[in-house]
Amino acid sequence: MKVICYAVAPLEDSYIKNWAKKNDVEVKILREDLNEKTVHLAEGFDGISSEGIEPVTEEVYDQLAKFGLKQLAVRQVGFDNQDLEAAKKYGIKITNVASYSPRAIAEMGVTHAMYLLRQVGIYYNRMNHGNFNFEERTLSREIFNCTIGLIGGGHIGGATAQIYSSLGAKVLLFDPYYDAALEPFVEYTDLDTIFKKSDIISLHTPLLPSTTNIINSESISKMEKQPILINMARGGLVDTSALIDALKSGKISGAGLDTLANEAEFFGKEHVKESDLPDDYKELVNMDNVLITPHVAFFTKLAVKNSIEIALNDMKSIINGKGSKNIVNL
């Protein structure tokens, strides 16, 4: 079997080569994205994989079908750049990797929360300026005494619940869908109770009409415990200007953000000029009770390995006529 992988980052090479060796498959690795200009490189291969956000056009699926290809294994969660109907029309089954390591994102959320809970950013700043003082503002809470409010209890919310529960914290969860497997770790409740009772509020839902700006001035007004807000999910879940106001007034005591509503303008880029950075980002990043990371919660060795193994196993399975549970355009 001969397969081709597009848009491979250098750090993926060794994982792809290991998979190929283990599965006795010949693999060609390309740095280029899959598009109308590069699709001809797939001729003569039995399987294809890609990733990225560049829209894939009907012309590409047409070409792949002409080369006899029957699938496209996307090595990431998102597949909104794929034209699912067009792919189906040409008999191309698209698979994604729905969950490569929920624990990676959960651990990053807890890391942000612990950093903020113990005021590490504030002390770090002070130490850099010869200030070794501590006073009431930096008096911390301890995690086992905290109530954690999770919004969304799917793969990542569930993993997050398990970690906080194992640290001795009380975990409240709001999710419209009940999951019996989470019973040992959470107490299901409603959104208002989450806002009212939580010391840490952690967001783990997709961006949907029902979750857009779920943290806004109205929901913030219901918060009674000056919580820390953690958003490892999607920037659009939070009304950023309402968050900035709440951080300034102390209504929210800290924010750990791996994602921002306007992040596509600058996350993942190097040497972004100060003048090109959005004002709300500049304001947030200068607050010592805010921690921002550039959408890297997923970025662990295990997650990279899993995203490759799951995508390429699906590719092989479909080529061998066995199907896959990860087909997104059935």
- Rounded to a whole number of angstroms, the minimum distance from the CB of residue 205 to ligand NAD is 4
Distance CA 144, CA 107 (A): 16
Distance CA 88, CA 115 (A): 47
In the complex with ligand NAD, the residue whose CB is nearer, 103 or 234, is: 234
Q: Which of 204, 263, 265, 270 is catalytic?
A: 263
Q: Following DSSP, what letter does each residue of 305-316 receive, concatenated?
A: HHHHHHHHHHHH
Q: Which of 75, 103, 155, 234 is catalytic?
A: 234
In the complex with ligand NAD, the residue whose CB is nearer, 93 or 112, is: 112
Distance CA 44, CA 67 (A): 7
Q: Is the distance from CB of 87 to CB of 50 less than 8 angstroms? A: no
In the complex with ligand NAD, the residue whose CB is nearer, 231 or 329, is: 231
Annotation marks residue 234 as catalytic: yes
- Which one-letter DSSP state was computed for residue 34? P
In the complex with ligand NAD, the residue whose CB is nearer, 132 or 177, is: 177
Q: In sequence order, what are the beta bridge partners of 95? A: 73, 327
Q: Is the distance from CB of 97 to CB of 310 less than 8 angstroms? A: yes
What's the gap between Cα 128 and its chain centre? 32
Distance CA 108, CA 257 (A): 10
Annotation marks residue 295 as catalytic: yes
Q: Which residues of the shown chain bind ligand NAD in the complex (CB under 6 A)? A: 77, 99, 102, 105, 151-157, 174-177, 204-206, 208, 210-211, 232-234, 258-259, 295, 297-298
Instruction: Give catalytic residue positions.
Output: 234, 263, 295
